Amino acid sequence: MSTEVALALVAASCLGSAGVAAGTTRLRPFAVLLALVALTLGAGAVAGLLGADTARGALLVVGYFAVAPVALTAYPRPAWRDPSTPLLALVGAGCGGAVLLVPSEDVAETAGLLLVLGVVGAGWWRVERSDGQERQLLLWAALVISLGTLVPALLVFATTGNGLAVASAVAGSVVPVALVAGGRRPESDVRSLVVPAVVTALTGCGYVAVLVTTWRLLDASGTDVNRGGQALVGFVLALAVTPVARRLRGVVDEVLFGHRTDPLAAAALATGAIGQAGDDPAAALAAVREALVLPGLALHVDGSVAARVGELDPARTLRLSIADDPPVTLEVALRPGDLRLSAPDDDVLRIVAPLLAQTVHARRLATELHASRGRVITAVEEERRRLRRDLHDGLGPRLSGMAFTTDAARNVLAGEDPSAAADLLADVRAYAVAAVEEVRGLVAGLRPPALDELGLAGALRQHAADVRRHDGHPLRVTVDAGDLGEVPAAAEVAAYRIAVEALTNVARHTRATAALVDLGREGDVLTLTVTDDDRTATDVGWRPGVGLTSMAQRAEALGGSLEARPTPVGGRVCARLPL
């Protein structure tokens, strides 16, 4: 492959990548500079084909030493105010000027080495000062450019002839495509690729260096080693590759990303972040992913996805069960090249798994509490509306009538008609009696007076004596109550209302002839069970109506629960009210 063909291939790749990058807003400045690189290299290739070697060399120097470094500073967004940008541009201009003024191979190699060091330094500076999505893209750029530089270097080391030209052309054409692809998918987690790539490169270079040095030492000592001996030396040195790579991975992890080498440190970091996240499963997963440098995590609750961060490849994921009620599983995406979780990662996940389950439980409780609070507020407002309506429509007119009648009685007395005045005063008394009864009704609606007079069991027995079935016959109700101790007013009212509503449902909607109300106490929980002897609705089931919904809301308002269903021996309503 000639140099002009290689330049044309790189220029075409840069131009096509610039066209794709122009469709992404944040990559448009980079696209413009990439197109300028393409035009410069393309013009150099044309000049070479026409035999204008001087123009060709000048265009290549401008493209590689001036335009390309500035284009890199615009990825993924322009960093014109960053101090590394003018320094890199100055280094590129100086190296390019030196190559133009002193056109020799040694000067070109030295200038190229200085430019590479300048790009590495500027890239490292920007990575250290950036975070979030921009840091991800800069790491991606560093990985792509490093691989694009390393492949030709390895071919120089291993081959002779046109291999370098081919590798340089291929690497140079792949780099812009990879940069644009990474910029259009900024959510990709490149950290899981950077560490294996760095570890592989360092391990491979170290292995080759030790192997070549060993052969050189054997040659220098005069030891005659044939190919079998060389293979044996290579095998012995290869035994150290795996443990060295494992230890090196921890070092690279710590240098690039911090605390992941120590499982306890990673677990402490993850648990601290989970504590700050509160009841947000997504934030908790993001903290764990950040600590372990994993491609992605997903939390499944009862078969549905509760939270998800990063990317999950179905072919490279593991499912870990972390809770049974409700079923909670953690889906973990493995890093490229890994077949299973490492022991430190597994230890960290076992430490944080209960916290993740607790986060899910806290979110569920918060949701239920919010819904329950809304129902309580609605019930309070409805009760206020009822009281306002009763006072306005009932008690108000009666009191107004008493006032008018009193005025009329006074007028009649002034006219000396005692019999008419006596009739009016009788009406006043009737109005007063009706108003008192209405006030008593309102008071009873707030809290049944029988609770204060007879207690919970006595109030229920008093009410049970008047319960009649839909056919007019009395319903035999037995109230069985043990030692309830001191019951708070809220629980007492709730238990009374639930029992009364349950007995009303039995009388209206069933064919029962008897019912049992069982009151008990289990520690700090008041239990109420209402059963009847109607066996006809076993196969039909109960549909929640106003009564059942009201009973459930009263129980949930106190943090309790209610279960209502038919049984083979009759209907059963069971409420548990915390005290």
Distance CA 93, CA 363 (A): 58
- Give the C-alpha distances (Å, rounded to integers) separating 59 from 71, 186, 243, 454: 16, 33, 48, 104
Q: Enumerate residue ranges in the chain where pLDDT < 50.
A: 1, 259, 261
Q: Which residues of 337-370 are buried (b: 16+ CB within 10 A; e: fewer)?
A: ebeebbebbeebbebbbebbbbbbbebeeeeeee
- Say if residues 560 and 577 touch (Cβ distance below 8 Å): yes
Q: Which residue has the tokens 């949701």?
A: 367
Q: What is the CATH number of the domain that holds 91?
A: 1.20.1070.10
Mark whether 459 and 568 lie in a shared domain: yes
Mark whether 352 and 226 lie in a shared domain: no
Q: Which residue has the tokens 């209206």?
A: 508
In angstroms, how far is CA 393 from the centroid of its own chain? 53
Looking at 412, 446, 480, the residue that finishes a domain is 446
- Greatest Cα pair distance, the chain, in angstroms, is 151
Q: For 443-492, what is each residue's pLDDT tens digit?
A: 666 667 777 788 888 888 888 888 888 777 888 888 888 788 888 777 88
pLDDT value of residue 259: 47
Q: What is the CATH number of the domain that holds 546?
A: 3.30.565.10
SS3 state at 328 = strand
Mark whether 31 and 154 lie in a shared domain: yes
Q: Which of 420, 399, 394 is nearest to 409 (CA)?
A: 420
Please, which residues have CB within 8 angstroms of residue 22's CB and are 6 or more apart in sequence?
28, 31, 32
**Pair type for strands 570-578 and 317-324:** unpaired
- Say if residues 439 and 395 touch (Cβ distance below 8 Å): yes
Q: Which residue has the tokens 């299973």?
A: 340
pTM, to two decimals:
0.45
Looking at 314, 337, 364, the residue that finishes a domain is 364
Q: 393 is written with which tokens?
A: 């429509």
Distance CA 9, CA 62 (A): 18
DSSP 334: P
Q: For 38-83, what is each residue's pLDDT tens digit?
A: 888 888 888 888 888 888 888 888 888 888 888 888 888 888 888 8
- Give the C-alpha distances (Å, rounded to integers) separating 557 from 46, 175, 255, 397, 578: 82, 63, 54, 35, 10
- Give the C-alpha distances (Å, rounded to integers) separating 232 from 216, 222, 237: 15, 18, 9
Mark whether 20 and 158 lie in a shared domain: yes
Mark whether 31 and 177 lie in a shared domain: yes
Looking at 427, 446, 465, the residue that finishes a domain is 446
Q: Which of 372, 419, 428, 422 is nearest to 401 (CA)?
A: 428
- Say if residues 341 and 334 touch (Cβ distance below 8 Å): yes
Q: 111 is written with which tokens?
A: 């200038």
Whole-number CA gyration radius for the chain: 42
Cis preceding-peptide flag for 76 (omega within 30 of 0): yes
Mark whether 235 and 281 lie in a shared domain: no
Q: 349 is written with which tokens?
A: 């996940």
Mark whether 122 and 137 lie in a shared domain: yes
Q: 58 is written with which tokens?
A: 């000048």
Quick one: CA dihedral 404, 409, 414, 417, positive or negative?
Answer: positive
Q: Which residue has the tokens 């470094």?
A: 69
Mark whether 536 and 473 lie in a shared domain: yes
Please, which residues have CB within 8 angstroms of residue 254's CB and are 6 or more apart in sequence?
260, 261
Q: For 185-218, what is each residue's pLDDT tens digit?
A: 665 556 667 777 778 877 887 888 888 888 778 7
Distance CA 508, CA 532 (A): 12
Mark whether 334 and 415 lie in a shared domain: no
Q: Alpha helices of 130-221 — where are they, by DSSP H? A: 132-158, 163-184, 191-220
CA angle 555, 513, 484 (to 5 degrees): 40
**Pair type for strands 514-522 and 525-532:** antiparallel
Mark whether 358 and 406 lie in a shared domain: no
pLDDT value of residue 1: 47
Distance CA 555, CA 163 (A): 80
Distance CA 163, CA 168 (A): 8
> 333: which strand partners?
317
Mark whether 213 and 284 lie in a shared domain: no
Distance CA 125, CA 123 (A): 5
- Structural domain range at position 241: 192-252
Number of domains in the chain: 5
Q: In this structure, how many other beta carbons lie within 10 angstroms of the beta carbon of residue 564?
A: 19
Distance CA 242, CA 148 (A): 25
Mark whether 265 and 171 lie in a shared domain: no
Q: For 108-121, what is each residue's pLDDT tens digit?
A: 878 888 888 888 88
Q: 492 is written with which tokens?
A: 């007492």
